[in-house]
Amino acid sequence: MRNILLVCAAGMSTSLLVQKMEKEAASMGHEGKIWAVSVDEINAHIDSADIVLVGPQIRYKLPKLKELGNEKGIPVEMINPSDYGMMNARNILEASFKILDGKGA
C-alpha cells in the first residue's frame, strides 16, 4: 500500500491528474491512496504520504518542500512537466514506484 500525495498551487489541476492516476493505479493493481492538496495544506497531509509529488507550476517551492520531506523521511519529487502536461498517469505512477522502491525516477 502506497500513499501518493500530489501538491500544486491550489490543488485543482492536480485533482484532475489524481482521477487519472487512480484509474491507472487500479489497472496496475495498486492499493493505496492518491490525493491532491494545495501547497498551503501540505503540513496537514505529509505524514500520511509515502511520497509527495509536486506540480511543475510550483517548482520554485521544490527546495523548501524537499527540506520538509527530508525532515520526515518522505521523498519529494517534481512531476515530470511533460507527463504532467499530458496527464500521463502511468508514467507518473511508474516514476513514483521506482522512487519508492529505491530505484530512482
> Secondary structure of the chain in the HEC alphabet?
CCCEEEEECCCCHHHHHHHHHHHHHHHCCCCCCEEEEEHHHHHHHHHHCCEEEECHHHHHHHHHHHHHHHHHCCCEEECCHHHHHHCCHHHHHHHHHHHHCCCCC
Which pLDDT belongs to residue 103?
66
Instruction: Judge whether 8 counts as a catalytic residue.
Output: yes
What is the CATH number for 49? Answer: 3.40.50.2300
Q: Which domain holds residue 92?
A: 4-101
Predicted local distance difference test score (pLDDT) of residue 102: 85
pLDDT in tens, the chain (105 residues): 899 999 998 767 788 899 999 999 999 888 889 999 999 999 999 999 999 999 999 999 999 999 999 999 999 999 999 999 999 999 999 999 999 988 655
Write down the pLDDT at residue 30.
83
Claim: this prediction has a pTM higher than 0.85: yes
Q: Choosing from 4, 5, 7, 8, which is the catalytic residue? A: 8
pLDDT given for residue 105 in this prediction: 55
